[in-house]
Chain A
């Protein structure tokens, strides 16, 4: 603003052009979801629908009676899975940061090593183990194997290492045990770290495609990404329905993001810190 306004203008052009490039696919999908099939196949490129209609949204729930079920499955798995991750990862991170017990160092190294193993290596044995347990096509088969996450155990450990000791000392004086201290005093103060974790873990469950593809074969157990994929197979030329279904699927994440947005940049910084 002081000098070189030309440079600033170029930056604005970059930022605005890229914002348009980012928004166009979403706006196009949103606009298509409010158009009739006739308008869709005509191949016109108007972003404002000529005959605005919400029929597509109504139709997807009646044409595909399982759509509501998929929505529920996705929500259930993502909510419970995220909740378990928050508790388990934090507990482990806390133990690794603050408690002393034999084998702590080896456990920590194993957790770091797990971070390096690509998910595909464990995928096939995981399928066989779940099959052995009778957990294919079940909620627990989707939730339990993903109920802990090495990345966030690591992140929570970093968080608790820098956590003020006074809180625990005060709790100890009040006669709280380790569990009481952790759940009543420490965890509520770990909100910023938990918020970032919530978004990432929820997104991972919500958007996961490959694991459900392998674990879930029963249509009524499908999550939304799988349902969407099979929906696309059934209604391949009905892009108005497919786009409406895509929009329904995107909404919950946007709401979650709106809630936790302010923790975001802060939260991501954790992963990059030593």
Chain B
């Protein structure tokens, strides 16, 4: 089709283009774009929901409040600790599993189906299953006891409750990233490995010098997705603690705190919005840092 063929034809195509886009434009407009603008507005206000919605302008108060809110500091500390431990471990585990699976092993299909089960299962179900296993008299303590290791009150002890969630989520998320790695591994040309074999490289050497460098861009993608996901930890903390973030605020995350301020206490919805913006900025900075750090063009 020649450009500028006939204005009538291109006008018709434009109209059809908008028709094709219409559902997306309407829904994104009402439920994403408008809310972002609305969120900016709310973050400068005190919001009262009694009867109707009452707004009171407060300037930067909501943002300043973050600096002297102890629970916000605890939530941020817990969340950062969670991110810093979970992201590297789940990425490494995903990589090791994918590389092992890809080494031409028998039963690849079986392992892949088994490993994918946690990804398919909802966070609510997984959390309940793990709470049952973490029970004082439960399976995990039994196994630890059998191995002559110390047992814990996983759910009730503030010093291990967050760790319990970390273990559960590394277990649950690593297989998903493993599948992404697997797809990428299939794109590494066999000739690379064959050349290395001729040079007498061992399996481990091949892994470090061929597999890992070739997977750099995918690793960057996996780490960024991991960062975004872990910073938003909510379901597991909520179900684990019954919505409180306890025991003793040990499982309180930023998103759980946002939820509590927005929907469980009165007059703090504006403050919750300010916290949400803070979280968005932290995620953005973490993502940018990661990109700069890896110095590789990411895939996203």
Contact = CB atoms under 8 A, between A and B. Distances in A.
A binds B: yes
Interface of A: 1, 4, 7-8, 11-12, 14-15, 18-19, 21-26, 28-29, 32, 43, 45, 84, 87-89, 91-92, 94-96, 99-102, 104, 107, 110-111, 114, 116-129, 144-145, 147-148, 150, 153, 177-179, 182, 203, 206-207, 209-210, 213-214, 224-225, 228-229, 232-233, 239, 242-243, 246, 249-250, 253-254, 257, 261, 264-266, 268-269, 271-274
Contact of B132 (A32, A99, A101): A32
Contacts of B183: 265-266, 268-269, 272
Nearest to B231: A118
B245 to A, nearest CB: 14
Given A121-B280, A213-B238, A229-B238, 20 more contacts: A14-B97, A15-B105, A22-B115, A23-B117, A24-B139, A118-B276, A121-B35, A124-B276, A125-B36, A126-B31, A127-B262, A147-B27, A209-B235, A209-B239, A224-B124, A242-B128, A242-B132, A243-B128, A249-B124, A274-B299
B299 A122 contact: no
Contacts of B10: 100
A14 B100 contact: yes
Contact of B129 (A26, A45, A213, A269): A26
CB-CB nearest 9 A-B residue pairs: A101-B17, A125-B35, A207-B122, A95-B20, A125-B38, A225-B124, A122-B35, A101-B14, A99-B17
B114 A25 contact: no
Contacts of A121: 35-36, 39, 273, 276-277, 279-280
B17 A104 contact: yes
Interface in B105-126: 105, 107, 111, 113-118, 120-126
A250 B239 CA distance: 17
Contacts of A178: 13, 16, 20
A243 B32 contact: no
A84 B24 CA distance: 10
B255 interface: yes
B299 A243 contact: no
B75 interface: no
A128 B109 CA distance: 47
B276 A120 contact: yes
Contacts of B123: 207, 209, 225
A176 to B, nearest CB: 12
Contact of A114 (B28, B104, B283): B28
Contacts of B125: 225, 228, 246, 249-250
A42 to B, nearest CB: 9
B25 interface: yes
Interface stretch (B61-69, B80-88, B174-182): B174-182
Contacts, number: 266
A214 B260 CA distance: 11
A17 to B, nearest CB: 11
Given A107-B25, A206-B122, A91 B20 contact: yes
A19 B14 CA distance: 53
B23 A88 contact: yes
Given A11-B103, A101-B14, A128-B53, A94 B20 contact: yes
B154 interface: no
Contact of A117 (B32, B117, B171): B32
B130 interface: yes
Contacts of A214: 259, 263
Contacts of A25: 126, 129-130, 133, 171
B272 A118 contact: no
A127 B124 CA distance: 22
B36 A117 contact: yes
27 contacts: A15-B97, A22-B118, A84-B23, A87-B23, A100-B14, A100-B17, A101-B13, A101-B17, A107-B21, A111-B24, A118-B276, A124-B39, A124-B262, A124-B273, A127-B263, A144-B27, A147-B27, A148-B23, A224-B124, A239-B132, A242-B128, A243-B129, A249-B122, A249-B125, A268-B180, A272-B180, A274-B299
Nearest to B11: A101
Contacts of B14: 99-102
A28 B140 CA distance: 11
A158 to B, nearest CB: 12
Contacts of B105: 8, 11-12, 15
A197 to B, nearest CB: 14
B202 interface: yes
